[in-house]
Amino acid sequence: MEKHWQQAEEAGLNLRAVFDLSALPAEIYESIQASFPGAHEFESLVLLGGYGSRYWRCLDQNNERDIHPVDNYVVSQVQNIFSRFQFQIIYPGDQLLPLVGLGRLAGWHHTSPLGIGIHPDYGPWYAYRAVFLANGIGLLAKQVGSHSCSACASQSCLSVCPAGAVRLQGFDVNACSESRLEVDSPCTETCAARLACPVGTDYQYTPEQIKYHYRHSLEALRE
């Protein structure tokens, strides 16, 4: 199995968690079962993520002209790497999944004023890339780690957000969205608050990677 995880890491899918499907919290299991009625035929749920820019470098080399480069790259890698197993990819896909809930179970997601999860090691520079159901893949131990933004010495993310959307009491989605949609907004292709987070700075995305993701999220806001 280690060979498969190594291949995934080389492809930029360098975060992983494997859960006993039947032992998941009821609300998560029921959500998956409702969207994928055949889920009960599988033993495990595999969650793959990526931190830093390794996957981005792989993407540039392989899928740079693809209409949906990230999703298609991830799906092709999962299909190639885990081809010897019985599996079903359920994310990326058309159905909503409780990714944050799975991230918490994996020890990746810790609530932050940024409105996104903070990883204990990689800060805000990670993302969920794939979820698939599988048989024959052994369980992995939960990652150990903790993070509390309230204990952060600088809390610089709170002061640099132009919209004032980043708050300890909770992220203001509307304020962020409205600010990003303004003409000549400084937040169209980047996020000053995210860049100010002191956790995981060694794994910060490249400028091109940041622009790509924020351009796409802005397009979604405009729809």
pLDDT averaged per 10 residues in sequence order, the chain, 223 residues? 92 96 95 92 97 88 67 94 95 92 94 94 96 91 72 90 94 96 95 96 96 93 88
Separation in Å, CA 189 to CA 55, 57, 118, 181, 214? 20, 19, 20, 11, 5
Q: Which amino acid is at 126?
A: Y
Predicted confidence at residue 147, as pLDDT, reads 74
pLDDT at residue 60, as a whole number: 66
The pLDDT of residue 78? 97
Dig out the tokens for 211 from the structure.
Answer: 């622009």
Question: How many secondary structure helices (H) and strands (E) does the chain include?
Answer: 9, 4
* Burial tier of 11 (Cβ tally within 10 Å: 0-12, 13-18, 19+): buried
The pLDDT score that the predictor gives to residue 65 is 64
CA pair distance 170, 148, nearest whole angstrom: 14
CA distance 181 to 27: 35
Looking at the DSSP bridge assignments, the partners of residue 219 are none
Buried b (16+ CB within 10 A) or exposed e, 158-187: beebbbebbeeeebbeebbeebbeeeeeeb
Query: Which residue has tokens 């969650």?
Result: 47
Please give the Cα distance from 133 to 7 (Å, whole number).
Answer: 19
pLDDT of residue 146: 73
Average pLDDT, the chain: 92
